[in-house]
Amino acid sequence: MSVDRLIEAIEAKKNPTVLGLDPYPDHIPPEILDKHAAKHGQTLKTLQGAYKEYIFALIDALHDLVPAVKLQSACYESLGPGGVEVLRQGVLRARKKGLYVIVDAKRGDIGSTSKAYSSAYLGRVELGDTLIPVFDADGLTVNPYLGSDNLDPFLKDCKMYDKMIFVLCKTSNRSSSEVQELMAGDRPLYRVIAEQVSRAGRQLAGKYGYLNTAIVAGATQPSAIRQLRKDHPELFFLVPGYGAQGGKAEDIAAAFDKQGRGAVVNNSRGICCAWQKDDSVPFTEAARKAAIGMRGDLQKAIR
């Protein structure tokens, strides 16, 4: 099962970190930007080439330390078709390096459109009797707020192709409470969403007791993390918000079970932009130092 592969990758590297590859122009070291600008000037091609070089270098430098990467699709889509191709190539590069790959696209829509999204990121596109992979990620973030039929195509592809979805539940942004904590009967909405995710994934359980349907629970919401873990020992958590957004390792510890399983913690700027705080070494070395520091921080908190 996909969730088992993620758990085993985490245990092999003793590190529940997912490297967030969310590039913006000001995240790219100047020497990379300058090199591509010399070829293409002030054009999208400069950013497309710089993003590709940057994320490939980070994947190559950190694949022995981290078990997984998460690529934020918006960062690549903002550069047009060439940027989307960089996203696709980034997925391929990470998978070749043995990393578990999550695309953070937060997709979700009515039936046929959800099917198209799922075919693109998790499943296959049909042409006659041929099934063609497109992005072929291991996992995808999904927005549940169109209802259960929105999730059905993703669940089908999870089962058919052994993939995983990470459903938005209690997110790390400050205003998440405006919607996610609205009362739905006797519970806040985020707890209802978690129950629906659990119910939808009961046929997709792995050998460690976790489902291939996971939830997103932000590090800046420690009380919600504790409640969700109490409610759902069977749900795996993707935890954003560590580091730059203010989430601390001790806030995240409740996401893990007694065996230290059950969650993966995202960090993007804290690792990828570590060079901005330490320009005495190449940016990949600064990223490695930051990743090693985060690993130690999480290990200490989870024990």
Q: Which residues are catalytic?
A: 106
Helices (H), 122-258: 148-161, 177-180, 189-200, 222-231, 249-252
3-state secondary structure 68-137: EEEEEHHHHHCCCHHHHHHHHHHHHHHHHCCCEEEEEEEECCCHHHHHHHHHHHCCCEEECCEEECCCCC
Nearest Cα residue to 152 out of 238, 213, 233: 213
Nearest Cα residue to 215 out of 162, 274, 172: 172
Dihedral Cα 293, 252, 195, 206, nearest 10 deg: 40
